[in-house]
Each structure stands twice: as C-alpha cells, then as structure tokens.
Amino acid sequence: MSTTAPVSRTGAIVSVLAAAGITVSVMQTLVVPLIPELPQLLHTSAANATWAITATLLGGAVATPVVGRLGDLYGKRRLLLISTALLVIGSLVCAPANSLAPMVIGRTLQGFGMGVIPLGISIMRDVLPAERLGSAMAIMSSSLGVGGALGLPASAAVAQNADWHVLFWGSGALGLIAGVLVLFFIPESSVRAGGRFDFVGAIGLSAGLLCLLLPISKGGDWGWGSGTTLGLFAAAAVILLLWGAWELRHTAPLVDLRTSSRRPILMTNLASIVVGFAMYAMSLVAPQLLQLPEATGYGLGQTMLEAGLWMAPAGLVMMAVSPLAARISAARGPKISLLIGALVIAGGYGVALTLMGSAWGVLVFAAVISGGVGFAYAAMPALIMSAAPASESAAANGLNSLMRSIGTSTASAVMGVVLAHMTVKLGPVSVPSEAGFRADFMIAAGVALLAALVVLAIPGRAGGALARRTARQGAQDAVVEGSALR
C-alpha cells in the first residue's frame, strides 16, 4: 500500500519535487557559457576540456537506472536525498578547481544526481492522491526545460560578470536547499520491490553504457572510423548482449527486461530516444545561430547572455503547456499527447527554416519546439507507469530517462558532425554555414516525424485508464500547482 499524503500537502510536495528537478537541469547547462574558455581555465587542450560536459552525461546515464532500482528497493525519498547530496558534493569539488581532474570528478558526481527527476515522478505516483497525479507528473517532467531555460542566461551572466567558480558555489547552494526541502516536505513511500540489488547487472549495464556513449560523445575527436571508436561500439554490443542474457536469467534483475519489452513501455522508450534527439538539436543549434557574427550574413550577433535570454521563454513554454497535456491525456489518453508533441516538434523545425533570420524568429520556433517537447514529456511517465508494476516504477522511469539521454547524446554527435563539415570561412577561421543549420533543422524535423510513427505503434489504449484516473481534475490542478510554483 502507498502512503497517500494529505490533500493540504500535495501542493508543497509537487513544488518541492519540481524545484529539485529544476535544480538538476540547471546543472546540465551550468558550464555551457564556459565552453569556449574551458581549455584556458583548466589549463588543458580543447579536446580534453570537453570531458567536463561528457562526464556529466556519462554519470547521469549510468546513475538513472541504478538509482531507480535502489529507490524501488530501499526507499525513493532516501535515494532522492542521496542524489541531491551528490549534486552538492560535485559542486563543491568543482568550485575551487583550476585543473581538469577535479572538474571531471565533480561533474561526474553532478551527473550521478540526475536520478532526481525519475525518482520524483515515482514518489508522486506513490504519495499523491490519484486525481492530482496527472498534472503533477507533467510539471515534474517539464522541470527539465525550465531549469535549462533559467540556467543558461543565469550562468552566462555570472560567467561574464564574476569569477567562474561562483557558478559552482551557487549550484552547491541550490542543491543544498533542494535537499533540505526534500527532507522536510517529502514523505517516504511504503511501496517496495522484493529481492536484492543486482550488482552484476549494475556493473554490466554501466560498462555497456560507457562503451556506447563514450564513442558517441567523443567520436568526433577520435575519428568515427578510428580503432578506439569502432572497438568501443563493438564492446558495447557484446557487453549489452551478455548483460541482457544475465538480466533475463536473474530472479531480481536491475532492469526487468520482460516488463520493459511490453509494447507500451518498449515503444515509449523508443519514442523517448527520438524525442530526446529532437529536443537537444534545438538546444545545440539555436544558440550557435544566435551567437554567430552578423558578418556571416545569417548569424545574429548576440552575446552568450543575450542568446540565453532569447532561448529562456522556450523552457517556460514547456512548463506552461504541461497542464494542457495532462488534460488531453485524461480525455484521450497519453498516446495522443505524445503524438501531438512529436508533430508539433516537427512543425517547429519546419517553421525554423523560414524564421532563422532574426532573433525574434528563433524565439518563436524554439518556443514551438519546446511546447511540443512539453507535450511529449508530460505523456511519457503515464505511459510508462501504466504498464510497469508500482514496485518497479522508479526503475522503469529511470530507464526511460536513460533513453532520453541516449537520444540527446546521439543528437549532439549528429548535429555536431553536420555543422563541423558544412562550414564557410570567416577570416582565418571556419564557422558553420547557413546550409549546415538548415540541414540540422531538416534532420531534426525528420527525427520528430519518426517519433510520431513510433508513437502510432503504441497500443491505442495504453495509459488511458491511468491518465483518466490521475488527471481528471487537470484544469483545477493547473491553477493549484502553478500558483504553488510561483
């Protein structure tokens, strides 16, 4: 039996969990303003400096399914507190750093805190009244976009006007506040999974993910045809196959592959990969377009801070549409919300081809794309949890978050390759060409349409009963939770 929180506390629970999710997503964008200067700041090469980004990605990918399973076994609130503690410790390791090694260690620890969002969604399932769950999950899912929207301009402002170490002292303080709020406002769920933790499965999955995501992230530096890149891809295939065989035979697996192979979960996870790709493409390409010099003829000549401010409304749109997505899920099922999201994302990239010539145009198409992502992210938890047992909800949500990470990693690689190979000369340097930006937008639109096709393969009634049960009061909830967040 779950421990349902009193109605009077539900607003506080949703607000605290959403704030924790925003804190986690801020960590992802924290170093973006520093990317051009990282080699000088850390006294290393440009290729090595990118480990400050890659380490967080790898840490998050490894942590989310492992932390989710630990939460199912030993308590989701307990693991939520551990995750926020890792965010704080990672920030404190990075804050005084002036070399690469402590920065990579700290950023990895920050990545380990990425399990906060799937854990928060699972806690909501266990402790909130059923009629409040739909909009609450939607808000929690959209916190990823809000954190990015707020984090980028805030980080840029600090980086331009203060010592860059302040960014990490500030992120440590945010993590500490989030942890204290969780400690005082979030109840522990009594829902537990049986069995013991699968250490062999955790090691196998971690090794397989590292071998998969490392070449995706670093293949551009190493060379896509290099022995290191191809060898790691081959090792990933072998390790993940062996890991899958182990999980199928284990009585208490880290990831229940039989549950994960159910059509609603499998198709939703596949959709998560392609939606994650489409979302990150905008986050990667649009800021570069905004910051290119006007001398190119298509660059918009914005500073990093100005670019962040132009992109900020997009993340707020993501949260604004989440209650609407919850209401549509209640009326028609979350599959419809996910389909709408994929189609809106595709339309946003189509619009981008005509609006990319002005900063206002970038704001508009970024907002459209983010609105589509908000619809998609609001629908995914309902689809996952409608097919996963309550005792496996955190692990199932963690796996879904992992699928999004694989999509964003792949987008980074593909978009980066396109922009690196389609260039024009600007004085002594090469910069991405207008054709390169257009190619990236068309690729992202095609991937979003692929996501829509995957969604059509989800069973028609998947998640419908859960959505109707948990989001029946969507309009009322939108007002309550929106007011609580403000």
Query: How far, CA to CA in Å, does 79 sit from each of 73, 75, 115, 322, 325?
Result: 10, 6, 9, 26, 29
Q: Which residue has the tokens 């991937």?
A: 447
158 shares a domain with 220: no
CA dihedral (460, 465, 466, 467) positive or negative: positive
CATH code for the domain in which residue 155 is found: 1.20.1250.20
- Whether the CB-CB separation of 428 and 244 falls below 8 Å is answered with no
pLDDT at residue number 5: 55
The tokens describing 251, both together, are 């009585």
49 shares a domain with 190: yes
The tokens describing 460, both together, are 């028609």
Long-range contacts of 260-265 (CB under 8 A, 24+ apart): 260/396, 260/399, 262/387, 263/457, 263/458, 263/459, 263/462, 264/383, 264/384, 264/386, 264/387, 264/458, 264/459, 264/462, 264/463, 265/383, 265/384, 265/387, 265/388, 265/396
Question: If you compute the radius of gyration of the chain from its CA atoms, what whole number of angstroms results?
Answer: 21
Q: Is residue 2 part of a domain?
A: no
Supply the DSSP string of 392-409, one letter for each residue. Answer: GHHHHHHHHHHHHHHHHH
For residue 238, give every residue at least 6 positions away whose Cβ sits within 8 Å of its Cβ, in sequence order, or none. Answer: none
Distance of alpha carbon 222 from alpha carbon 477, whole angstroms:
50
208 shares a domain with 189: no
pLDDT tens series, the chain, 486 aa: 445 555 557 888 888 998 898 888 888 778 877 877 888 889 888 778 888 888 888 888 888 888 888 988 888 999 999 999 999 999 999 999 999 999 999 999 998 888 888 888 888 888 888 777 777 887 787 777 777 777 778 888 887 788 889 999 999 999 999 999 999 999 887 777 777 889 999 999 999 999 998 998 888 888 888 999 999 999 999 999 999 999 999 888 888 888 888 888 888 889 889 888 888 888 888 888 998 999 888 999 988 888 888 988 888 888 888 888 888 888 888 899 999 999 999 999 999 999 999 999 999 999 999 999 989 888 888 888 777 777 777 778 888 888 888 888 888 888 888 888 898 888 888 888 999 999 999 999 999 999 999 999 888 655 555 444 444 443 343 333 343 333
158 shares a domain with 140: yes
Q: Is residue 476 part of a domain?
A: yes
Q: Is residue 1 part of a domain?
A: no
375 shares a domain with 305: yes
313 CB neighbour count, 10 Å cutoff: 16
CA 401 to chain centre: 7
**103 residue type, one letter:** M
334 shares a domain with 280: yes
237 shares a domain with 284: no
Q: Is residue 259 part of a domain?
A: yes
pLDDT at residue number 479: 37
pLDDT at residue number 8: 52
- Whether the CB-CB separation of 373 and 317 falls below 8 Å is answered with no
pLDDT at residue number 339: 94
Q: Is residue 264 part of a domain?
A: yes
- Whether the CB-CB separation of 118 and 398 falls below 8 Å is answered with yes
Q: Is residue 418 part of a domain?
A: yes
State the first-to-last Cα distance of the chain, in angstroms, to the nearest integer. Answer: 32
413 shares a domain with 365: yes
For residue 434, give every residue at least 6 positions away whose Cβ sits within 8 Å of its Cβ, in sequence order, or none. Answer: 296, 297, 298
pLDDT at residue number 168: 93
221 shares a domain with 189: no
Q: Is residue 226 part of a domain?
A: yes
**423 residue type, one letter:** T
Domain count, the chain: 2
Distance of alpha carbon 137 from alpha carbon 115, whole angstroms:
15
pLDDT at residue number 473: 40
The tokens describing 252, both together, are 């208490």
Strand partners, 431: 424
pLDDT at residue number 126: 84
292 shares a domain with 162: yes
Query: How far, CA to CA in Å, does 157 sit from each of 29, 77, 305, 307?
Result: 13, 34, 6, 11
The tokens describing 41, both together, are 């700041």
The tokens describing 77, both together, are 């609130």
232 shares a domain with 95: no
429 CB neighbour count, 10 Å cutoff: 7
The tokens describing 30, both together, are 């924290």
**184 residue type, one letter:** F
Domain of residue 230, residue span: 199-251
For residue 243, give every residue at least 6 positions away whose Cβ sits within 8 Å of its Cβ, in sequence order, or none. Answer: 201, 204, 205, 208
CA 106 to chain centre: 19
Distance of alpha carbon 86 from alpha carbon 90, whole angstroms:
6
Reduced to 3 DSSP states, what percent helix, strand and coil does the chain have, rounded to the nearest 5? 80, 0, 15
| Pick from 167, 84, 140: nearest CA to 385 | 140
CA 35 to chain centre: 20
224 shares a domain with 302: no
